[in-house]
Structure 1
């Protein structure tokens, strides 16, 4: 009996391996989101040709629908199915109804794939309830295997930048490993805010889906950096009677004689507002509404601006001072934070200061090693999630525009000096010409006089010689 039992067990495992199933009998699990394209592998080993391959998908009442036979799609929506060269099945533009059990067959051999769709829905709550409840789950459809067969699955929530959600106004519940709730104590700035749900398998992310919440009478919070352009939309409308206001004062197009409280801006044909060359003065609450009805507000925005400035070390001793400033539209909330990253660890940072609705955090860096700094970035975080950042780069003085243009300046100056010198020499030569001619005449006269004097001197010397000779002759006679 023992030998027979062992033989049965061996045959069971061989059958499971040949069929492409795990020994547990669970099909391969694949997860995707609506709109994706997915490729389901055929786990039958040693396939020489796909002509013998067929693909089925589960249907109601434990039935199956054939979708691929003899290398051609047979399903009603055949344009979304394609058999690849390795006999895998490709499905495009996934919909919820695609969450099924798919089976690849070749004779008596078969291999199955359980395709699940990751979804997010919002639960309806009473209008006076200040909470919001989001559900993230794996869809269950015809023939899909139960989720409790996959203990390795888990669902996590994060903000738009994948920072895990945490804070006193958030509650996360996990009824089971394929279903999770995010309960939010809402505030007005949650309007048009995105949340992300991740499905992990053995700690590896298999699928991610995002959801944007809508809050009644809420406003969209926008964080932007100084110097860039910002586009604020006015909804799906393009009406000439739309108007924009900032701090309850009407704004005008930049082309108008009076451009109101904001400069370098204009309104597009779709009524959206474009702010060019953003500055800290643009921080504030904006809203778009019909000019005929002030209460008919279509969109609201709360704009905050982020900037990084530098003070040279020569003005502050031995340190280069960088200042990161977040100018808030109204009052800076307690969940806002500023952080320095990059080479910021080389210096030391000040404490976060809140001055006149502006958060400030300074970074002091040794001037002696400025050129060795990597990119230094200041980021603003809201409830732990990074929402904006601005970089400061150390600039080599020899690479600044002034130094780059120095050779050209030198060339221009040298050319000017050359022209000036040449002109001066020509002018001086013209002025000196008469005196040169007179000097030549004077030199000729002097030469004549010298020659006459030399002749007289020669005669005197001859006379003196004759006298000396006569004297010598008298001495000899005596």
Structure 2
């Protein structure tokens, strides 16, 4: 068989299975902007000085990335070889997606890098209630691998076999629990829990891939009741949405009545990463329900019902758009 180029020869040999004893390959998921490690997966264990990495561009052509354990495609300095001969890519872009081949001189293995379209899921939780964040819908970690959670880029370390985790946020103790299925539970949500959560897959060499990114927003409502109940005295509902980071410009708050009619609240005030809206309600409507509604570009993405009956607060919430948009438990 005559080959037009060395790259073409290598590609053809790979496709027909010659010298390829583990071509089934594996798949790794990542998001744009993240870092990822692609496992080599060959059967021959030896020094990484024998390892080569190639990237399949199109047809049968492969671009050389690593030769004899050294990166030759510097590509903005985003590539390096790990201690286990894995290929580490930082600041991943959609252009990095595709098939990679690791070759150790005797066997080869393929890994497909698949980029996720969504950087992060959004979850809305009510202050005072509990919430559980799912790590991944895919298969469990393999031998030597583990799933880990981070919050605001700080890793959450399991403190005991029960999975309880305690970290400090703004000088206050906040409690998490990592469940056996690797989901992350927050027992009693506070506004301080708003933020960026990430569940990642690790092995002994470090990060392999990011399984899920979550932006947790929190809703908090309070009622300002008069000191002495009077039929003709108004009371005030205050709804606060604390965003994971700065609230997007297309996010807004409004109010609706139990009859389905929209209620006119005061102007929405923005303080740091929190939106605040107040609603004046006549005491005569204390047995009815008002709902704080979160809008994005005019469409409802979450809500929280807040009835006040007989001068006593009764709080409950509904799921208008289920996980990952809004979740309480």
TM-score of the pair, normalised by structure 1: 0.35
Give the number of the structure with larger relative contact order, counting CA–CA contacts within 8 Å between residues 6 or more apart: 2
Q: Which structure is higher in helix share?
A: 1
TM-score of the pair, normalised by structure 2: 0.49
